[in-house]
Every structure is written in structure tokens, then in C-alpha cells.
Amino acid sequence: MEIAALLTSAGINISICIVLLSLYSVLRKQPANYCVYFGRRLVCGGARRYDPFWYERFVPSPSWLVKAWETSEDELLAAAGLDAVVFLRMVIFSIRIFFITAVVCIAFVLPVNYYGQPRVHKEIHLESSEVFTIENLKEGSKWLWVHCLALYIITSAACLLLYFVRPLVLWTIAKMRLGHITSSAPKPSQFTVLIRAIPIICK
């Protein structure tokens, strides 16, 4: 595969993402979809906007991205619940791991793979993708230790993040869950067990 084809594929995927984000931005503004995108807000008594002349609802806007970026965990907890906070923590942790992996691979692994064999390199966009993989290294090359070192660095970073971040995350989530339970009004479903299909024993 040539790099130009890979970049073309990436451009197509990015364009599709932009189209889908724009479509979401438009659909979430339609009054008929309020129950889909703002169900919790409607249950809590949030206001609806039924202005038929509000033409901005047909124009995509990135304002929701800015609001989502600036939203704190407390606001997210109040608006979407504890599960959304836990999911966000998982996403942030994954982004940290992938960021470390990307930095290590771009800084160490890619140059070693690219210059793994003596060859005349073409322009970067005309190169084949194989020159950026371990396939471009000669068998028994002394530069294979770079790949092993990169794996050790990534694994160590993941373990350190799990060691230092996981207890704090678990403690914070447990504290949030306890606060949510104590602050919410008691419900019969919290103290009731429903049993069905009890077999009748005839004597």
C-alpha cells in the first residue's frame, strides 16, 4: 500500500466523521428528537424550543463540542449520571495509553523501520507502507532491540498508570456513588425483591 493511498483513506474517514458530526449537530436541534437526545433533561422538567422560525436548527454548529469539552465531572454527573463519568474516565485513560504509544512509536520505532535496509527512498507520499513496518528490517538486525525497548516502555507506562491512577479513580467513583445514593430519595425498588414463577407444591 502506498502512503498516498493511505492518506486518501484517512482523508475520506475524516470527511465522513465531519459529516456525521454535522448531522448529529442538526438532528439534536430538531424538536422531534428532543426525547432521544435530551431525555433526562425532559424528565427533570427542561424547557423545549418549538419555535417554527428558528432556522438555526438546520445549520450545523460546533458549539456542543466546546460545551462538552468544558463540562466538569460534577456537571456531567448531574446531567448524565455516574455511568457517564465512569465511561469518560475509561476514555481518558485509553487516550493516555494511546498517546504514550504514539509518541514512542513515532520517535523510535518508525525511524528504525524506515532506515532498516539500505535502499533509495522515494518521496514520502510515494513510499510503500511496508517501509514503516518491522518487515523492512533485515533478519537478525541489531536494531530489533528498539522494538523490544518500545514494548517495555509502553507496558511499563500502562502499568504505572494503572498503579497510580486506578486506586484514585476507584476511590473517586466509590465516593460519587455513595454520595448519589445518600442524596437521592429512597425508592421502593431499593428495598424490594420481586420473585416470580414460584412453583406450587401440591401436598
Q: Read off the pLDDT of residues 92-112 as tens digits, 9 standing for 90 and up.
A: 888 999 999 999 999 988 888
The grid coordinates listed for 11 are 482523508
Q: What does the DSSP 8-state code read for residue 107?
A: I
The grid coordinates listed for 176 are 460519587
Annotate 136-173 with DSSP letters as a single string. GSPTT-TTHHHHHHHHHHHHHHHHHHHHHHHHHHHHHH
Domain boundaries, the chain: 1-69, 71-183
Which regions in the chain score pLDDT beneath 70?
A: 1-2, 39-40, 42-54, 119-127, 168, 180, 184, 187-191, 202-203
